[in-house]
Amino acid sequence: MQSSIRPDRWTRRDFLTLAGAYAASGGLGGVAALARRAEAQPSPVHLNFMVWSYGIETIQDNIKSFQQRNPTITVSLQDTSWFNYHDAMATKFASGDAPDVA
C-alpha cells in the first residue's frame, strides 16, 4: 500500500492531516509542561524599588497589596528627593547596586 502523503505533490487533506498531528503532539507537550510547572514551588524573590518622594503613601499601599497577592515576593522601598534622584540612581548604577524597579 502506498502512502497517501507524496513528496512530489501535497493535497489539502495531506497537509491538514500532518498539521493536525503536529498540533496534537504540541498540545500534549504543553500539557506535560504545565503539569511540571504546577508541581514546582515558587522560590522567594526580593525586589528593590526606588522612587522619588512623591505619593509615598500610595506607593506603600500598592506594595502592600502586591505582596498580599504575591506572598513569595518582598519589596523594599527606597525613596529619595526629586532633586537627588538622578545622582542617587547614577551612583547606584555605577556601583553595581541598581534597583530592580525604578
Residues of the domain holding 71: 45-95
| Residue 101 covered by a domain | no
As for how many domains the chain has, the answer is 2
- If asked whether residues 86 and 59 sit together in one domain, one would say yes
- If asked whether residues 56 and 87 sit together in one domain, one would say yes
pTM to 2 decimal places? 0.56
Phi-psi domain of 101 (left: phi exceeds 0; alpha: psi -120 through 50; beta: other) = beta
User: Taking a C-beta distance cutoff of 8 angstroms, is the pair 83, 89 a contact?
Assistant: no
Task: Show pLDDT as tens, one digit a residue, over the chain (102 residues).
Answer: 555 555 567 676 766 666 666 666 665 556 566 666 666 778 999 999 999 888 889 999 999 999 999 999 999 999 999 999 999 999 999 999 999 998
